[in-house]
A and B are shown apart, each in its own frame.
Chain A
Amino acid sequence: MKTLNEIIEYCKVQSFDLKFTRANDWKSEKEGRVLVGYMPIYFPREIIHAAGAMPVGIFGGGDRKQIIKGDAYYQSYICHIPRSIIELALDKHLDHLDGFIFPSICDVIRNLSGIFKQQKIGKFVKYMDFPQNFLPEIGGVFYQQEMEHVLRYIKAINHVEVTTEALNHSISLYNKNRKMIADIYDIRQERPWCLTGEELYYIVRAGTVIPVEEHNAMLEIVCALIKENKGIPQDKIKVVISGAFCEQPAIGLIKAIEEAGCYVVDDDYMLGSRMILGDIQDTSAKPLEAIANAYIKQSQYSSSIYDVDNPKEYRLAKIVEQRGANGVIFASASFCDPSLLDAPIFQNAFNRLGIRYISFQFSENINQYKVIKEQVGAFSDSIKLWEDEPMPILQK
């Protein structure tokens, strides 16, 4: 793959390949390889890679999977992603995966881990309890124990003893991956027309289901090509999307936002791939400690992390300021507790700070975007009409 179009087309296919063909192929290439599925939001994929396994992101069925059995597992007032994940499992899409990791996002994903256990899906099921204590000697130690637990599960399958060197190597690969994704976002901040939001989404999401080495190679090409590509700017406002960090909006919705007059200069769609800000130390004699410390000290804000003395509303406001965005679109999955419970916090703060926003809810399988498109269009138009207003000055 040499051209941007070729890479985008490849990523488009991989992103929504609900049979996880590339991962399955990788596994079958060599005896003893292990696939570990992980749910949103974030998981330190480095440790799976270091154990000779491949992490595979499971972000639901989106609008590509009809839900039949999944609805029998969840009441109507529970978000959509768990029912599409269980549907994928029951329809044998996940049969090649050896284990499953459910990061601590919310009560629904937590209890989904129990359903996987009860249904005996996979060789192991691990609910990954991320620390809500942010002292390295307390929460950090606990987090390391959680990671060690995952490594024991993988070792029981492939008998691979993870070394410090392997962990540091994996950390460096994912550092590179995050760095290049961050570069793409930075380039798009200045010239968002060089890559559409839809294309960016494919490129980032594909990285969750293909080997990191392959993804890095593609990202290098993308970075080089979009630096060259001049493109033609359109009369659109710049927005930041917030709230869609777990259940993913359908591609149609991502496109609708852009078509309604917005350049999305930052988002939290695939937050896990960008969770750690900056590099994790890759020369440490204690790499698990390095990963834990990075989580504690370098994480992006998230609705699933208790924000203690670092309030999320000011962190999002800072992103808006740094990206030069004109406003924020709060896009929450229907019935998403973490996102919806954060809404008053964000909105009250943004009212005070004078940051313009709109909000709506979506479901991964909706395919009617007319109302949302009109709402976003009106938002875009209203900002263009008052575009001379200065951006607010951020103050706590």
Chain B
Amino acid sequence: MSQEAQKERSMILQKEMIDGLFNDLANAKENGKKVCYTFIPGNLSELIRTFDLLPVYPEINALQSAMRKKSASYIKEAERNAHSEDVCTYVKCDVGMMMKGNIGPTGLKIPEPDILLLSYTGCFTFLKWFETLKREYPKAKVIMVHTPYQENAEMTPEMTQYMVKQFKEEVIPQMEAVSGVKYDEEKLKRHLVLAKEAQDWITKIFDTTKHVPSPIDAYFAGVYYIGPINIGFRGTQEAVDYYKELYKEIQERIRLGLGPITPEGEMKEEKYRLVVEGPPNWTSFREFWKLFYDMGAVIVASSYTKVGGVYDNGWRHDATRPLESLAEYCMNCYTNLNIPQRIDLLAKSITDYKADGYITNSIKSCNSFSAGQLPMMRAIEDRLEVPVGFIESDLVDPRYFSYSNIKNRLESYFQMLEQTKTIKKTEAAV
């Protein structure tokens, strides 16, 4: 009984937070609040809050539209207006939603942006996306933050200084001008302290998959867990409270020896532990997840949950170096890592979390993730000798989710995993 009550509490907390945000957005203009559209990778939540701005995340609207089966019509609307079939479906879903009145996933209208904060981090499409939106919202101020890519697997002082200069001379003055709020570094520091605390908690939460059975699924459930830290609540007490509560619930699951919770209840038997690379499909999210839990497969780590920040290696926001810290945060998001860094990170996850295999969900319209996934997969296979699998789908375009194809591939993959396990057992017995 207490376990269910605890479980419900973290979910309720998250629902309250998100509903509150969308309500605030729906009433933003009446309440004189300024609205800032921005992206998850490299999201400057603490800075946005310092200027009392309300954030809108177009990718989140797109994925939520997909989960509510609305994305197909939005994408078609965009394609009727010269958007190619072959580009990012998040962009098309967002543009289509705007063309159809900009009614958000909760049914409430999303206000027009006052600021388009272009955190150009790890995804070139972001740049094109806001170029497109700027033409639709000519009054909005576009603030570009160019995040240097970790091409040499490092964040150099020059890269950090480049970003800090952008913050000081471009981003902050423009945010002051639009918001009418003066920059208060002490306020930013307070948010950064809370951000660090949330980062500590979420790291501990994703680290619980070291337990066997894993108490959580770090991909399908993980996408819910990263919600608060990624969509504007990082840097708030609410986010810290949410993660504390979630951690407490997971600890209770560990104590009871329970596996992850799925949409159909508790997973009974953990047969395979996997690490997944790539975002999930959102249009058939439940069916997609079911393909895994029906086979007893639990995801013990995923790259996608690091898209809004990589905290595994100990990096945290640091209130003593506020702007430098924001810069490092942006540079340290998963898709801003180079290919060898990604391989190292994923290989470490496979080892640390004792994964039986590695699987890539390659997203048709997301080159930021997809370009390079095949050699990454082979590098991991060569390094760790784990069975690797490959499936393809899309973010929010239902035309590219083929249930039977994915099922066939996964069934073959799980057979391979089973065979590998049998061989290993036999070898161990000899």
Contact = CB atoms under 8 A, between A and B. Distances in A.
Contacts of B82: 343-344, 347-348
Contacts of B149: 104, 110, 127, 129
Contacts of A137: 165, 169
B86 A334 contact: yes
A115 B142 CA distance: 33
A138 B170 contact: yes
Given A115-B375, A129-B151, A345-B131, A75 B370 contact: yes
B321 interface: no
Interface residues on B, range: 35 or more
A117 B376 CA distance: 12
A16 interface: no
Contacts of B372: 111-112, 114-115
Given A343-B82, A344-B81, A344-B83, A337 B128 contact: yes
B339 interface: yes
Interface stretch (A28-36, A56-64, A139-147, A192-200): A139-147
Among B78, B371, B375, which residue has the most Cβ atoms of chain A within 10 A?
A: B371
Contact of A308 (B120, B128, B142): B142
A77 B338 contact: no
Interface string A106-137: 11101111110111000000110101110101
Main SS at interface, chain B: helix
Interface residues on A, range: 35 or more
Given A82-B371, A106-B367, A341 B158 contact: no
A26 interface: no
Contacts of A135: 169-170
Contacts of B120: 132, 306
Interface in A66-84: 72-75, 77-78, 82
Given A129-B149, A133-B144, A335-B86, A115 B370 contact: no
A55 interface: no
Interface string B338-377: 1110110000000000000000001011011011111110
B225 to A, nearest CB: 26
Contact of B339 (A106, A111, A337): A111
A115 B158 CA distance: 24
A261 interface: no
List 5 A-B pairs, minimum CB-CB distance, nearest first: A114-B339, A127-B151, A341-B128, A132-B146, A111-B372
Interface of B: 78, 81-84, 86-88, 91, 95, 118, 120, 123-125, 127-129, 131-132, 135, 142, 144, 146, 148-149, 151, 158, 162, 165-166, 169-170, 338-340, 342-343, 362, 364-365, 367-368, 370-376, 379, 392
